[in-house]
Each structure stands twice: as structure tokens, then as C-alpha cells.
A and B are shown apart, each in its own frame.
Chain A
Amino acid sequence: MSSPEEKTLILKSSDNEEFLVKESVAVQCITIKNLVEDGCDLDAIPLLNVDSKNLAWIIEFMEKYADSTSTDAEKKDFDTEFVKKPFNDVLGLILAANYLNFPALMDVMCDACANEMKLWSVEQVREKFHIQNDYTEEEEKAVRAENFWAFE
């Protein structure tokens, strides 16, 4: 029986692509960790809510973070480059990180999303999230007046 450090897992994305990942790296995702500890004996672990595009990115992130030789500064630089993705992809990664319960990735992606949102006006938020404005003119005026300090 091979020692845990060497064990490799097969992760299968929702579009049936298979990825080989070392168990020690993959268990950064608590979901996967729980499965392994509970004795999941499937050949490949199916991740139904994660497509191959996101899974590839997540594995890239996991491998960087599992690497004990990378310094904090290197991780920061990696993060800065990693988050430079189209906004919808950032959101997709947040959902995937949540599904897999991967706190480190969640934090990095949520912070990136929050930083982008900081610069937006109300109209821009609506546009990026495709939200329909259901306020009447008076209602909108009232809610903006309530939050007047945010517009200063």
C-alpha cells in the first residue's frame, strides 16, 4: 500500500475531463478531504458543479499553494496575476471554490471581486451582474437618499 504522500487522485470535471492531482495537494479542498477521509472508493471523484476550465485553474492554484518552497511574496505575485480574469470567470471560480470548500482560493477571489466592485457606480453593478432595476423613480431616489454618504 503506497504511503499517503504519493497517492494520486483523479478529479473528473462536470464535462468529463479527468485531472490527476496528488492527494496532498487536493485535500486543500475540504470537500475532497472529507471524501477521502470518509473512505470514498470511486475510481475518479466526480465534481458535478465544476467544469474543466475552472478545475484546471483550481488545480493550478492548489499546486502553487501546496508548494512549500514558494514564499509569501511569490504567492502574492501569483495571486495578483491569477485574478486577472474576466469578471464572469472570477465569479465562476468563487462558486467553484465554495463548492469545493477551498478557503484560500475563496478569500483571494472574493477579495478580487470586492476590489473591482469598489470602483463601480450603481449602474455598473447592475450591468455587470445583469440585474434589472425594479425601483420606481421615487423609490430609487429614496434609497439613494438613505445611502447618501456612499455617494460622497
Chain B
Amino acid sequence: MQETTRITCSQPTKHAMNVTNFLPFDHKYWKNSDNVCRSKLLIMSLKSSSNLSPPWQVLVLVANHLDPKTLAIASCVCKSWSISMSSDHLWQPICAAQYPSLCTLHAAASAAVSYLKLYTLGYMSEKRRVRKPLKPNLSLQDIFFAIDINNKSSCIATTIKPGCELEVDKNGVFRFDIDVKRDKSVAFDPTDNLRITWNVVMKGFESVFTMMECRGKGNFVLGLQGWFSKELPLPGCCLSGGASGLVADLRLGLRISGGKVVVEKMSVGVLSVVSWRYVWVDDVLRYLQHFLLP
């Protein structure tokens, strides 16, 4: 309820909100001040809400002190609150403080974009930048590895390893040691040219992705180890052409037999050439999804 006061004042006070308590709405003061008109609108929009509540003037006064989340929650209370709590004059300082670069968009289009909308855009933009990827739709149980090593004349080592039998590296990276059965491994000359194929196969033979197909002598380093690597292709869904930054890596563990060598172990993995580290299992599964899942 508005009471006209009996205290005489020679001049209305400068504090716009305070004036409402002294001057009736048809006083010429209201028409002269822009700031006052805005707060008047705020007040009028709140007047329609409940009369039994704490006086609505209080909300107008407190609104300036509310943080964005509380203001947004308050908008959901009722229709008149929704109008007043989304007012530009409340959101402009908030937006200017947190997302100053977005404030220039306010006057960008032919119809002004509200500061509340700009704030929401800024908030979502921040969240999406740091969004974590979704869990892969593929798991190690769904795939198996088929690895063949041939020299000019014959197959010198072959192995088929279901994903569920792979021993996951304790650091969670995509790198696995696979023992080669004796009967699947034949002695060969270490100077031979070899052809290596590493396929990842979906169970049920629904699809295949060739991780590596290469020829060469391998880099026989660190004694009895042969090392092969091949760059992996880009999935092609976002970037066309260019490097993926991923490399399929295969190392052979050899044992001497007679004057030749025999493969007794293989280590396979996926390396990032950007960080020179093995890639996380989930990341490789998400990568493989592009090629194995429909």
C-alpha cells in the first residue's frame, strides 16, 4: 500500500528507488528520469503478484544483489517475476562483468538480444569448451586383433587375439603384449623384408579396420626387437585431409633359433605423435568407432 507522506521535502531525494515512497505515480518527476521509468516498469510488473506477500518493493531492491543463478531460479517462480527477473537492467552489469566481449552483440541484430540471453550463451560456451567426450560405444570385448607377419616365402608369425583376453596396461593406455604360440611362429632371417598386417575385427565379422599394413625390414633396435609403425588415417568426420597425429605401433620380441630368429612376442599399441605417448584405451575405442560401427 502506498501512503502519501506528511513530511515535507523541498527536493525529492536522488535515489530513484526511494522516490517511490514519496511521490505519487502521476508526479512529473517520473516522466523526467529514464532510470526511474525502468524501475517503474519493474515495479508495475511485480504489482500484479500476490498482495499477501512481503511487499513487492523489497524484491526490486534485492534483485540488484542477486547472483545470476538465483535470478534465473527466481524467473521460474511466476509470470510477473519472470518479466522482472529477466530485465536488461539487472542482467547488463552481470553480463558486462562476466562476458564483456559478448555485450557488443546486444545491438548486433535488428532486434536487440537481451542481456539474459547473452549471459546464457556465455555460460554455455564456457561449459561446452571443456566438455568431456562420451563413453565409447565400442569395448574391447567387441573386437579381436588379427596379426600376420610374412616374409617373401611364408608366414612367419600369426596370431588372433580376442579383445577380452588382452591384458590391459596398468596405466590404462592402448598398448598390449601378446604372446605368439610356438606352433604359429617360424624361424626367419632378420635381414628379410617383412610384410606386417594388423587388423582389428568386429566380433561376428561385421566390419574390419586395418590398423597397419606395411613392409620393410623393421628397425631392429635394442637387441632382439623389431619395430614397425604406420600413421593412422583421420576419421574424416570433421577435418578433411591432414594428419591424425596417431600412429599404430608394433614391436616384435624375437628369440634366436639356429642362425635365425623366431617371433615369440608382439607388442601393439597406438601412439600420439603430438605428445609421444600411448593413447588412452577409451580414446582409441572412440577412434575405432568411426571405422567399425555403422
Residues of A within 8 A of B (CB): 30-31, 34-35, 38, 40, 45-46, 48-49, 88, 91-92, 94-95, 98-99, 101, 106-107, 110-111, 113-114, 117-118, 120-122, 125-126, 129-135, 139-140, 143-144, 146-147, 149-151
Contact = CB atoms under 8 A, between A and B. Distances in A.
B67 A126 contact: no
Contact of A130 (B10, B54, B120): B54
Given A122-B76, A149-B123, A46 B7 contact: yes
Contacts of A110: 61-62, 64-65
Contacts of A149: 72, 120, 123-124, 127
B81 interface: yes
A56 B85 CA distance: 32
Q: Give the size category of B's interface with A.
A: 35 or more
A147 B76 CA distance: 8
A126 B230 CA distance: 64
Given A114-B67, A129-B54, A130-B53, A120 B73 contact: yes
Interface stretch (B13-21, B27-35, B270-278): B13-21
Interface string B146-181: 000000000000000000000000000000000000
Interface string B44-74: 0000011011110111011011111110111
3 closest A-B pairs by beta carbon, nearest first, are A150-B72, A130-B53, A147-B72
Nearest to B56: A129
* Interface residues of A, dominant DSSP: helix
B58 A143 contact: no
A143 B75 contact: yes
Residue from B6, B72, B123 with most neighbouring chain A CB atoms (10 Å): B72
Nearest to A37: B10
Contacts of B215: none
21 contacts: A30-B13, A31-B18, A45-B7, A48-B7, A49-B5, A88-B54, A95-B61, A111-B65, A118-B69, A122-B73, A122-B76, A125-B73, A126-B78, A129-B77, A130-B52, A130-B54, A131-B78, A132-B49, A140-B76, A143-B82, A151-B73
Contacts of B52: 130
Contact of B62 (A30, A31, A46, A114): A114
Contact of A35 (B9, B57, B76): B9
Given A113-B62, A130-B53, A101 B18 contact: yes
A64 B11 CA distance: 29
Contact of B66 (A114, A122, A146): A114
